[in-house]
Amino acid sequence: MISATKPFVKFHRYDQELVSDIQALNSSGYHKDDIWVLRWNPDKNHSNQRDNYYKYSSHSEDVIGDIDSKAHVFENGGEELRTRLEKLGLSKDEASALFRELQESDYSCLLVVRDLKDNIIKMSN
């Protein structure tokens, strides 16, 4: 179910701080369906590699801190990542802008939270 409000998006590295943010969200009552970790894998951007394995890949083998049981982990190429952002409630332009910013930064993933309330996690790094 998509919310009428825009989801909260935070740039992250795939590290212990991400695990801490997810644990804080879980402790505050957020469930796995409200929390998404979107990892960009540039190796999955090439159209010749977009077979079903890549298209339907949900997470990598090196999930840290068992976050795949606490949040949805999605690792894929650029087009799939932008599409997932749109499905989570962002416009096509917003999704493209976030993906471009992710590509140009030293971050490796986005933490997306539906209906974030209060200051459960630090807003920026």
Residues 72 and 58: their CA atoms lie apart, in Å, by 8
pLDDT above 70 as % of the chain:
78
Asked whether residue 35 carries a pLDDT value surpassing 90, the answer given is yes
Domain ranges of the chain: 8-113
Kindly report the pTM of this predicted structure. 0.80
pLDDT at 45: 59
Most distant pair of Cα atoms in the chain: their distance: 44
Q: What is the mean pLDDT of residues 116-125?
A: 73
Q: What is the mean pLDDT of residues 45-61?
A: 47
Please, what is the Cα angle at 32 between 67 and 18, to 5 degrees?
40
Per-residue confidence band for 119, with pLDDT thresholds at 50, 70 and 90: confident
